[in-house]
Amino acid sequence: MDFPGCIKVADLGCSSGENTFLVMSEIVNTIITTYQQKGQNPPEIDCCLNDLPDNDFNTTFKLIPSFHEKLKMNIKGKCFVSGSPGSFYTRLFPSKSLHFVHSSFCLHWLSKVPDGLEENKKNVYLRSPCPPSLYESYLNQFKNDFSTFLRMRAEETMPSGRMALTLVGRKTLDPLSKDCFKDWSLVSDSLLDLVSEGVVKESDLESFNLPYYNPDESEVKEVIDNEGSFEINNFETIFGLLFSYKTGRSEVKDDCDDDVDHSRRFEVVKKRANLARSIIEPMLVAHFGDAIIDRLFEKYIYHAGRRYDTLRNKPTVNFFVSL
């Protein structure tokens, strides 16, 4: 086993804020622990944070001192953080320079809205029922993008390097199952309400589609196998709950008692709406403007509350892939 004096780690799609450094802290401390267990001196570690150029890197860099404080004592002064703005569907780093690549909850976002969605006029994403051609457009874009991602990382990663990816997926093989849409169907319904009220132009809704695709397990594995640069070391499916979060009092989730009162139900639904808003708001603002956002998510809460009973116990599906 080699113990290089410098290890380069990249987090692709790092976002900004305190969560940016959660995984990087674990990675760095794991590296140091491994060296210690083998009686090796700790290496220097180059931590590269990547996201799109309009990501708030300034806020992220202000958190570097607190990141260093949480590291093991004997790594202080040997851990360096840098930003690498750009799309991870392009080359980002020099050839054969990375020892470890991490990406969490990013690869279900496509490089662009797929072509051929002209008939998807009332929805922001796939929705049942819809023509199979719409699904094919999304699937083909995912295959092209994920293949490109793997090819770029193969050029950048050292022969002994490793990669760990987490992305949103789906359990059912039917891509048009109602279980696949959840949040985005609620956004579609909310926008349709605003169209009927004259707040949003119908043409604006018809021209808006999300650059998003949640694949099933076979689709992920097929792309990895066909691209050929990496072998799957581990593939895990992680199930979560659509309505689940921790409050100051307890954890409220979708398998709670049926007699949950309306105030608690509203609390759960509102939390879910805020989560969806944190993910999709920049795209909505860019297309519709920011004046509609508060009203849109009021509608979202209303529709989520009405569908609460049908959405309960519908698990979210995430894939963890080690390459």
Residue 91 above 50 pLDDT?
A: yes
Beta 6-12 vs 98-104: how paired, if at all? parallel
Q: Please give the sequence-ordered ranges of beta strands (E in DSSP) within the chain, or none if there are none.
A: 6-12, 44-51, 79-85, 98-104, 157-169, 234-241, 244-246, 251-253, 315-322
Express each pLDDT in 220-278 by its tens digit: 999 999 999 999 999 999 887 555 444 333 344 444 444 456 777 888 888 889 989 99
Residue 41 forms part of a structural domain: no
Residue 152 forms part of a structural domain: yes
Residue 4 forms part of a structural domain: no
Please tell me the predicted confidence (pLDDT) of residue 55. 93
Residue 273 forms part of a structural domain: yes
Please tell me the predicted confidence (pLDDT) of residue 170. 86
63 closest CA partner among 9, 13, 20, 26: 20
User: Do 83 and 116 form a contact (C-beta atoms < 8 A)?
Assistant: no
**Host domain of residue 246:** 87-322
Residue 151 forms part of a structural domain: yes
Express each pLDDT in 272-311 by its tens digit: 899 899 989 999 999 999 999 999 999 999 998 888 766 6
**In the chain, how many domains are there?**
1
158 closest CA partner among 7, 318, 314, 278: 7
Please tell me the predicted confidence (pLDDT) of residue 263. 73
CATH code assigned at 183 = 3.40.50
Residue 39 forms part of a structural domain: no
pLDDT band at 167 (very low <50, low <70, confident <90, very high): very high
Residue 24 forms part of a structural domain: no
User: What average pLDDT is seen over the chain?
Assistant: 87
CA 239, CA 171: separation in Å to the nearest integer?
9
Residue 31 forms part of a structural domain: no
CA 178, CA 121: separation in Å to the nearest integer?
18
